[in-house]
Amino acid sequence: MSILDKNKAMKAEVRQVAEVAGYLWQKGWAERNGGNITVNITRWVDDAMRALPAISEPLPIGKTLPHLEGCWFYCKGTGKRMRDLARNPMANGSIIRILPDCATYEIVADRLVMPTSELPSHLAVHDYLIAKGSPYRASLHTHPIELVALTHCHKWLEKDAATRMLWSMIPETKAFCPRGLGMVPYMLPSSVELAEATIRTLDQDYDVVMWEKHGVFAVDTDIMNAFDQVDVLNKAAQIYIASKNMGFEPEGMTYSQMKELSDAFGLPK
Ligand code: 13P
Ligand code: ZN
């Protein structure tokens, strides 16, 4: 028996996380325990859930995040595999609630699965999103092969160099990832410094940022939309690489084609 059985809306949200976890594995982006997902599920919490006892001690977040007071999250478990989460999300993830000090949390359901090691980044980003009144409630970290490969070359780490190239590979990229791809220099995985750099970069008006030589971090209204943004960007990177493998530098859409697209779809310039 899962607590989700009593809450249809929350069950649907967690089922969507499981569906995306399956896609991440199928894409080859989720080796072993690679990647993590958190979703702010506060709006689905009912009185029955609020009455649940904690199943863990209070645990430190590593930061004080004042906007997370009273918030609840579904989190992938640390060391857990996306391919296992796809089949059984509550054995490979857990539900946590933030305690009133906004610096600790406790696990509420279903099992004592410790949340992802990237919790500082995920929760700091949720805190930032709430503070700015964003409708975004889901964050995704994953290891997409071609996008990570790009970050091994200095030229693509320059601000918006990769964005411009990726947008020009296929019109859908700018249409469905209109804010492009921010760059965060290499930092130790799961560190508070990485969390802070991620927020600084998201705040330059990106929904998707690259962690150099590691992976992407994407935010959106729900986890399917966050996945879609990463998927269109990685598809563009694959087209670039396919052209290079055929022995030529891809032309890319021209400036006037990009301008026409931006005007037609009402996209930022
Ligand atoms: P977790 O298993 O702790 O979620 O870590 C996976 C990962 O990709 C770390 O960057
Ligand atoms: Zn990672």
Instruction: Enter the pTM of the model.
Output: 0.97
Q: Are strands 208-211 and 181-184 parallel, antiparallel or unpaired?
A: parallel
Q: How far is the CA of 1 from the centre of ligand 1 (A)?
A: 27
Would you give the distance in Å from CA 159 to the centre of its chain? 20
Residue 189, ligand 1, Cβ within 6 A:
yes
Residue 243, ligand 1, Cβ within 6 A:
no
Tokens in use for 173?
A: 């990229």
Per-residue CA distances from 110 to 95, 186, 242 (Å): 7, 35, 44
- Tell me how far apart the alpha carbons of residues 45 and 26 are, in angstroms, rounded to a whole number: 31
Determine the Cα angle at 157 with ends 245 and 180, to 5°.
Answer: 85
DSSP state of 185: -
Quick count: other Cβ atoms within 10 Å of Cβ 102? 19
Whether residue 184 contacts residue 198, with contact meaning beta carbons closer than 8 Å, is answered with yes
Which CATH fold topology does 145-269 show?
Answer: L-fuculose-1-phosphate Aldolase (3.40.225)
Q: How far is the CA of 131 from the centre of ligand 1 (A)?
A: 26
Q: How far is the CA of 7 from the centre of ligand 2 (A)?
A: 31
Residue 36, ligand 1, Cβ within 6 A:
yes
Q: How far is the CA of 83 from the centre of ligand 1 (A)?
A: 14
**Residue 269 has what pLDDT?**
74
Which CATH fold topology does 1-143 show?
Answer: L-fuculose-1-phosphate Aldolase (3.40.225)
| Residue intervals in the chain for CATH 3.40.225.10 | 1-143, 145-269
Residue 171, ligand 1, Cβ within 6 A:
no
Question: Across the beta sheet with 104-109, what order do the strands follow?
Answer: 59-60, 104-109, 93-98, 72-76, 36-40, 138-142, 215-220, 208-211, 181-184
Tell me which of 31, 38, 75, 78 to substitute to probe ligand 1's pocket, judged by most ligand atoms within 8 Å of the beta carbon: 78
Residue 144, ligand 1, Cβ within 6 A:
no
Tell me which of 36, 81, 114 to substitute to probe ligand 1's pocket, judged by most ligand atoms within 8 Å of the beta carbon: 36
- Tell me how far apart the alpha carbons of residues 138 and 192 are, in angstroms, rounded to a whole number: 19
- Tell me how far apart the alpha carbons of residues 219 and 207 are, in angstroms, rounded to a whole number: 5
- Catalytic residue numbers read 118
Whether residue 189 contacts residue 214, with contact meaning beta carbons closer than 8 Å, is answered with yes
- Give the residue from 99, 98, 77, 78 showing the smallest Cα distance to 88: 77
The CA radius of gyration of the chain, in Å to the nearest whole number, is 19
For the CA of 80, the closest atom of ligand 1 is 2
**Residue 88 has what pLDDT?**
98
Q: What is the pLDDT along the chain (269 residues), one digit of tens a residue?
A: 888 998 999 999 999 999 999 999 999 999 999 999 999 999 999 999 999 999 999 999 999 999 999 999 999 999 999 999 999 999 999 999 999 999 999 999 999 999 999 999 999 999 999 999 999 999 999 999 999 999 999 999 999 999 999 999 999 999 999 999 999 999 999 999 999 999 999 999 999 999 999 999 999 999 999 999 999 999 999 999 999 999 999 999 999 999 999 999 999 87
Residue 92, ligand 1, Cβ within 6 A:
no
- Tell me how far apart the alpha carbons of residues 251 and 245 are, in angstroms, rounded to a whole number: 14
Q: Give the length of the chain.
A: 269
